[in-house]
Amino acid sequence: MDRSPHHEIARRRMKMVRVLLIVAIIATLHPTLLVSSECKDDDYLELIVKASGSDNLYVADFSTRFIYHNGDVKEIDAENISGSIRIDKSALLDVEFIVICHKYFYCGAIDVKESKLDRFDAYSIDLAPFHT
């Protein structure tokens, strides 16, 4: 069966939408998002990633992706050896979701508008580890 390039692009986008919906549903059903201090003058958001069930176990070397309103996806190249990254809040204007993934944890998603990230200088998300 011959598939056109347009068909392949549409198939990939639908797959991305399904994955994003699953991540969003899991994040909604497992409310582990924590919010801290309101932002005053800082134009940056510190995104902190922790292992669920632990107050002091931070997840380092995670990947961060922005999902834009138009469906585009951009991987954010930011060093996160300490379990957190700093994001310029102006970069979030057209972002619908932030997706955080790690090879030993389930992915987590943050709805940028719903969580009102622009109001905070730090935001924490807990990722659940895979169980063997």
List residues bridging with 66 in a β-sheet: 74, 98
28 within a domain of the structure (yes/no):
yes
User: pLDDT by residue (tens digit) across 71-121?
Assistant: 999 998 877 778 899 999 999 999 999 999 999 999 999 999 999 988 889
Q: How confident is the model at residue 14 (pLDDT cuts 50, 70, 90)?
A: confident
Q: What is the pLDDT of residue 10?
A: 72
Residue range(s) defining the domain that contains residue 34: 5-127
Q: Of 91, 78, 73, 101, which is closest to residue 17 (Cα–Cα)? A: 73
Q: What is the pLDDT of residue 17?
A: 65
Q: What is the pLDDT of residue 81?
A: 77
Q: CATH number for the domain including 64?
A: 2.60.40
The pLDDT mean for the chain works out to 79
Radius of gyration for the alpha carbons in the chain, expressed in angstroms and rounded: 16
Better pLDDT: 36 or 19 = 19
Per-residue pLDDT at 29 exceeds 70: no
64 within a domain of the structure (yes/no):
yes
90 within a domain of the structure (yes/no):
yes
Q: Of 76, 67, 79, 130, which is closest to residue 102 (Cα–Cα)? A: 130
How many structural domains compose the chain? Answer: 1
Better pLDDT: 24 or 16 = 16
Better pLDDT: 61 or 7 = 61
37 within a domain of the structure (yes/no):
yes
81 within a domain of the structure (yes/no):
yes
Residue 25: DSSP 8-state: H
Q: What is the pLDDT of residue 36?
A: 37
34 within a domain of the structure (yes/no):
yes
18 within a domain of the structure (yes/no):
yes
132 within a domain of the structure (yes/no):
no
